[in-house]
Structure 1
């Protein structure tokens, strides 16, 4: 459980840091250095979060199907 929380926290932090770097890089005019690095960091965070959601077990089937 602690490893899961650490992974989620690290992924969220990477997402926030990456997006902040993207925004600041655009503002400061560092489109060839900081923007690509921020994009890679943000995409890494999104990938880790996506992998975590993909590993979640399927919810149990219920009688309510919405039809």
Structure 2
């Protein structure tokens, strides 16, 4: 199982995993491409961790609860 990473940046609003298992956090909702997610030219992004390859990566995008 690919467990989402902990300790995400305060600005992270979205979390998603690519097909290769890489977890990424995004400030703005990312776009989908052939094997993962990419930033939409607004907001920040950061690699959040590495898990096992995920054939169900398309279902991994989640909106994180607002901080505070």
* TM-score class, shorter: under 0.3
Higher strand fraction (1 or 2): 2
| TM-score (normalised: structure 2) | 0.22
Q: Max radius of gyration: which structure?
A: 1
Higher helix fraction (1 or 2): 1
| TM-score (normalised: structure 1) | 0.22
